[in-house]
Chain A
Amino acid sequence: MKAKKILFLLGVGASLLGSTPLMADDATARAIMEKVDARDEGDTLEQDMLMVLIDKNGDKRTRDLKSYAKDFGEDNHRTMFFKSPADVKNTAFLTYDYDDGAKDDDQWLYLPALKKVKRIPSTDKSSSFMGSDFSYFDMTDRDLENYDFKLLKETKVRGHDAWMIESKPRNQKVIDESGYEKTIAIVRKDNHVVVRAINFLTNGKKKYLDLKKIHEENGVWLVDEMTMTTKKGKRTLHKTILTFSNVSLNAPIDDGVFTTRRLEKGL
């Protein structure tokens, strides 16, 4: 069980996790990322998510979701149900994220208007997740072996000592799949949490991930609030705020939650 994957559900540490060391990059940076990777983040996670989408004019749209995640061996299964607003209520999304990079993830979407569960191709992960600044890529696991790491400098974030690490995809396929040319992540030294990241998109835009509030629970670091902001130059194009509540970590979740049967039935 790689509990870190659950954190990906929250978009944390996009494009930074994995496990196979390679020689072409900075050994110190890779060692740090391996510690990020090895951090315990639980076996199951159930939580409410409030997604606020803010456009460049400051107009807001709100999405209320319930999400479940569970590790099945090396693989991770996730289900999300939209609770509001009314026009997307009962929309549900199921992902089987396979540890084996050669295997395509399985994804299904239940759209109440179609009244059926639809299998959806998953390769293009740069698409926006339900209109947010988070992409499907931000929510899936990936391998360290696909990246070169470089320790840029030591820094401080909100009073905490941190490392600044750059990761660059090793091949065009990974760039095409993610839409990211490179990522600069800021990793807190005391807990190895990626608390900030800048994702450099191939179209010249940047996406800023910022974990505004985190807390520790039984040795596991959980996110209370995070933002992803898309910018072009210094101009904000769009922003997504995710806040989490009613968090239940490592509580048993029935395997049936991660089935198309459950998508149809809803919450």
Chain B
Amino acid sequence: MLNMCRVLCFTTPLILSSFLHAETLDDALEGFDDESTPTTRSHAERGNEKKNDNSNSFTGKLTEQVAYSYNDDSPHDNISSLKSSLLLDYEHKFVNGFKFKMNGKAYYDAIYDIRGTEKYSKDERDELKSEVELFDAYLEGSLSDNLDMKLGHQVVVWGRSDTIRVTDVLNPLDNRRPAMVDIEDLRLPVAMAKFDYFVGDWRITPIAVLEQRFSKNPPSGSAFNPNPRSLPSDREYSDITPALSIGAEFSGWDVNFYASQLHNDSGYFQNGKIQHDKVKMIGTAVNILKGSWLLKSELAHFDGVKYASALDKEFKRTDILLGLEYNGIADTLISYDVALRNVHDYDKRLLHEMSELKERNYQHAFRVSSDFMNATIHANYLISLFGSKMDEGGFQRAWIKYDIADGIYANLGFVDYIGGTQRFDSVANNDMAFMDVTYSF
């Protein structure tokens, strides 16, 4: 009897386990769906696509955006923006492989007319109520097997960081609504002649910057520049400035070396204009891949920087960036960048700059992006803070992008402006919630 019990005790779990295993396997196999789900286009239709003339491509985006401001000061309180924008993009491919691309964006912010244009400063109305802007307009192609050219209004991104600019000096930015401008529109295209010469793993890129254009800043009287005094205009320059990038990509790492002699984007005020003297820059950027980690570094040395508070002197500045990107969690990207901008031969007069300038200036940026529901929902969080102790102001932005259907998506987010220094304290009450819907066609 005892023996029988022992046998049963040992064999029952085995039999049960084998039965369960069989059942689990059969259950699992039932999961195959024998129905054929029709795809949206048949093979025949797709085959015909190849025959169609696709040398011309015309696409666009229509966006409606509303922003709600937590600012208490009229007229920048409550709903502060009700913007409609249209981006049109045209591309033509020539038979020789060359491509012409042109796109432009127009927007109209109805809030100015709804609330009464007289309540806003002239500068703000002129800058932010409506705009038609040409973005890309270039011709590109290969002149030979190892030589490409790209001529026209274009964006050229240097460096590795997506959040802090160190070596990314070629294109000015649209800073009129900080942290509110879509990344697609953030860099302003500039007329350039760019050539890429390829030798082995290396790419040599000489660039002639044909147009001297500078960043757009918040207009006076606007939420991000409460000062009623109009901003001085930029001095105009018509010269051509040179830039050079030499880079290579290897397995697990890549490197770029940069040199340029461009007009300083930030400039200094003198003789009623913002002067943008030429500044020499040399720099480098490196990516190193290690498992789920990507190490990013950038270094830029500037020579000939001038500041309004110490006009009798030219300064040298070295900016260094270190960044880490982690991709070890499914559908998630985490990055942290820190930059140090070090002014050499420091002069205490620089403390009186409009934005107080210390000898060493730190900037931190932390970002998390995660996709959910098969990338139908993209959640993002970005915080950018200045100061060695992250106490000199900045902003944080959280937003969710939801793909409603093919070509239709919505963003819902919040921007929190953080005070800490005079520069950020003056805009710290501009916290904003925003929502936009975009239809791409």
Asked whether A123 and B61 contact (CB < 8 A) given A206-B28, A241-B37, the answer is: no
* 0 or 1 for each of B37-52: is its CB under 8 Å from A? (1 = yes): 1011101001100100
Contact across chains for A115 and B376 when beta carbons are under 8 A apart: no
**Residue B2 at the chain A interface, CB threshold 8 Å:** no
Which residues between 37 and 85 of chain A lie within 8 Å of chain B, taking CB atoms?
48, 50, 52-55, 59-62, 85
Are B157's CB and A116's CB within 8 A? yes
Please state if B374 and A86 are interface contacts (CB–CB under 8 Å). no
CB proximity of A116 to chain B, nearest CB, Å: 4
CA distance A130 to B251 in the complex (A): 24
Smallest beta-carbon distance A124→chain B, Å: 5
Question: Interface digits, A232-265 against B, CB 8 Å rule (1 contact, 0 not)?
Answer: 0010101101010110000000001000110001
Contact B99 A128 (CB under 8 A): no
Report whether over half of chain A's contact residues are helix, strand or loop; otherwise say mixed. strand
**Is B13 positioned at the interface, with any CB of A under 8 Å from its CB?**
no
Residues of chain A with a CB closer than 8 A to B236's CB: none
CA of A104 to CA of B327, assembled, Å: 13
B440, A113: Cβ atoms closer than 8 Å:
no
B47 lies within 8 A of A245 (CB) = yes
Cα A167 to Cα B292 with chains together (Å): 25
Interface 1/0 per residue, A120-131 and B, CB below 8 Å: 111110111011
Most chain B beta-carbon neighbours within 10 Å: one of A127, A198, A234: A127
Q: Is the CB of A127 within 8 A of B331?
A: yes
| Other-chain residue from A60, A62, A133, A198 in contact with B31 (beta carbon distance below 8 A) | A198
Residue-wise, chain B 326-350 has the 8 Å CB interface mask toward A (1 for contact) of 1111111000000000000000000
Q: Which B residues from 264 to 323 make CB contacts under 8 A with A?
A: 287, 289-294
Judge if B162 is at the interface, Cβ distance under 8 Å: yes
- Nearest CB in chain A to that of B438: its residue: A87
- A266 to B97 Cα, complex, angstroms: 11
B59 close to A89 (CB less than 8 A): yes
Q: What is the number of residues of chain B that contact chain A, defined by CB distance less than 8 Å? A: 65
Q: Please state if A245 and B32 are interface contacts (CB–CB under 8 Å).
A: no
Question: Is residue B123 contacting chain A, with contact meaning CB distance below 8 A?
Answer: no
- If the complex has contacts A124-B327, A245-B46, are A260 and B407 also in contact, measured as CB distance less than 8 A? no
Query: Is B294 a contact of A265 with CB atoms below 8 Å?
Result: no
Q: Check if B289 sits within 8 Å of A208, measured CB to CB.
A: no
CB pair A121–B294 under 8 Å, yes or no, is: yes
Q: How long is the Cα–Cα vector from A123 to B249 in the complex, in angstroms?
A: 19
- Residue B144 at the A interface, CB < 8 A? no
Residues on B lying within 8 angstroms of A by beta carbon are: 25, 28-33, 36-37, 39-41, 43, 46-47, 50, 59-61, 99, 140, 145, 148, 155, 157, 162, 182-184, 187, 196, 198, 203, 249, 251-252, 254, 287, 289-294, 325-332, 371, 373-376, 403, 405-407, 409, 438, 440-441
- 14 CB contacts below 8 A, A to B, read A50-B40, A61-B403, A85-B440, A86-B59, A86-B60, A87-B407, A89-B59, A113-B182, A113-B183, A118-B162, A127-B330, A127-B371, A128-B375, A131-B371
